[in-house]
Amino acid sequence: MASVPQKKTKASAPSADLFSSKKTTTDEVALTHTPELVIALCGPIGSPLHSVSNTISDMLRDSFGYTDCKNIRLSELINKYAYKIEPSRIIPDKPEFEKIQAQIDAGNELRETYGGSILAELAIHEIRFERENHKMSAQHEIHVPRRVCHILDSIKNQEELDLLKTVYREMLYVVGVFSPLEQREYQLKRRGLDSAQVSKLIDRDSGEESETGQTVRDTFPQCDFFLRMDAGTDSQLTSRVSRFLHLILGTKIITPTSNESAMYAAASAAGNSACLSKQVGAAVMSKEGEILSTGWNDVPKKGGGLYTYNPDEPLGENDKRCFNRDGGKCFNDEEKTLFASDLMEILDAYIPKGKHFEVSQAIRSSKKLKNLIEFSRAIHAEMHAILNAGRVAGDKIVDGKLFVTTYPCHSCARHIIAAGISEIYYIEPYRKSLAIKLHGDAISESETEKGKVRLLLFDGVAPGRYLDLFKVRPDSRKKDGMLIKTPLKESMPRLEKSMQAFPELESMVIRSLAKQKLISSAVLQNEQDNGPGAA
């Protein structure tokens, strides 16, 4: 463990004289804003996370004047703190399969022992330690704004993401890095793994049953920016990372791609849904890039279309959606419960005495039963969008693209194929879908396979960050009729964060780690002596 920075005589920081009578209150607050960034990577095993991390670091240093970019690998934190689970616990250096398995095991045990966010807490400790080192070495009285970036490679579960968002908020950007399955398999085999080992690791990394395990497929959809890295885009990594950094630092006028606009439209449409199970949105785009229609999942009504809120009627009076019927219930869940009861009646005579409850629970918890979707009253978002496109745009839908917030189910997949759609883009996986299993003759998840409908992960700015990164303040682009050009090495993030806010939240994390004896009491004492409350 790195040594604890020693307390030094306090000296005024360059920005300590913030409150001058010559400045407005807004100016004074703005002086506390920092260009500091925290970028967390998230992606399935075998994706080029390290390459993306290095590219971000190099570009921030070389082009944007960031003096320090620290790559914090969570796997190295697992290696460092594995002994806390068991003093003799050592992560082997090789063979590679045993090393990765041991890291996943140790990471899960750390989360189980100290909480699901523990690896994010340890990463925050690394960030805070570096911040305190700088403050002490520069003999500053307070934490001062600096052009530094901390890159976390990589987060694996929901609690890690939640803590980072809580502490760093606008300063945090989460980048999803994804490669097609065949490419990830190839990369893992290059590291000495055989086919069986590769399959086991990919399945385990994607989503474990344990609450404290790795659940990349659930965390990944919440990223702010998606980088889909395939054989055709590897050479474009630098330009794509450059676009991302120019967006978050506001140094160039960058507008959305047609795909980003379509996925934003799909995500916006999802907000119309009152489905009790899940809100899903979709958008259909012509091959020329024109958005033809949007759709969402909800209950159809007589005369066409879906039920929606009508401000001219008493609230809910003629709204027959599930939340407004029979006290509010999911009809799909109700039918599945009845189906399970019917099955138990059929099996009753064949079940040994004393086993009825056990068998009943097994049936009700069966994945096959839980995954049934045909009893839902709602039309799916994809179908709603396709029907709307058919009404207003006719055959423009042929060879078009479909953007949907969630991977299509197998029921929608066959209609999407029949409608003539050539490409489908999604963000969130859907474990229940049998689309590829049932329609593999016509649809493919492969980037390179020709002659089939391509079903691909979305690439670009996430819908949740669309307005943050593309909408600008009035008069922020020109002055006296001329484009305002900000020197790259003086740029500030679009969403600025005050140095007065997050250091105290970091201190709370440090105190928690010290109480759990994951870090030394000397670190806690240093926080008390030199932390935000001591300034």
- Cα 279 vs. chain centroid, distance in angstroms? 17
Q: Which residue bears the tokens 């870090």? A: 519
Q: 391 lies in a domain?
A: yes
C-beta separation of 283 from 385 below 8 A: yes
Mean pLDDT of 380-406: 96
Residues 185 and 283 both lie in one domain: no
**pLDDT, tens only, 443-464:** 999 888 889 999 999 999 999 9
Q: 476 lies in a domain?
A: no
User: Would you say residue 360 has pLDDT above 90?
Assistant: no
**pLDDT, tens only, 221-273:** 999 999 998 766 667 899 999 999 999 999 999 999 999 999 999 999 999 99
Residues 218 and 168 both lie in one domain: yes
Mean pLDDT of 43-61: 96
User: Would you say residue 329 has pLDDT above 70?
Assistant: yes
C-beta separation of 514 from 123 below 8 A: no
Residues 58 and 90 both lie in one domain: yes
Angle among Cα 219, 423, 287 to the nearest 5 degrees reads: 130
Residues 304 and 452 both lie in one domain: yes
Angle among Cα 517, 93, 231 to the nearest 5 degrees reads: 110
How far is residue 398's CA from residue 321's CA, in Å, rounded to a whole number?
Answer: 32
As for how many domains the chain has, the answer is 3
* CATH code, domain with 396: 3.40.140.10
The predicted pLDDT at position 318 comes to 86
Residues 136 and 200 both lie in one domain: yes
Residues 72 and 160 both lie in one domain: yes
Dihedral, CA of residue 244, residue 245, residue 246 and residue 249, to nearest 10? 130
Residues 193 and 305 both lie in one domain: no
User: Would you say residue 323 has pLDDT above 80?
Assistant: yes
Structure confidence at residue 526 as a pLDDT band (50, 70, 90): low
Kindly provide the b/e burial profile for residues 335-367, where b requires at least 16 CB atoms within 10 angstroms of the residue's own CB: ebeeebeebeeeeeeeeeeeeeeebbeebbeee
Which token pair is 370?
């839980």
Owning domain of residue 445: 259-315+376-457
- Pick the closest to residue 114 from 515, 434, 531 (CA basis): 515
Residues 150 and 289 both lie in one domain: no
How far is residue 123's CA from residue 96's CA, in Å, rounded to a whole number?
Answer: 24
Residues 234 and 176 both lie in one domain: yes
C-beta separation of 381 from 300 below 8 A: no
Sign of torsion over alpha carbons 140, 143, 145, 146: positive
Residues 183 and 106 both lie in one domain: yes
- Pick the closest to residue 412 from 303, 325, 284 (CA basis): 284
Residues 340 and 309 both lie in one domain: no
475 phi/psi in degrees, rounded to 5: 60, 20
C-beta separation of 148 from 68 below 8 A: yes
- Pick the closest to residue 155 from 198, 188, 123 (CA basis): 123
Q: 443 lies in a domain?
A: yes
* CATH code, domain with 177: 3.40.50.300
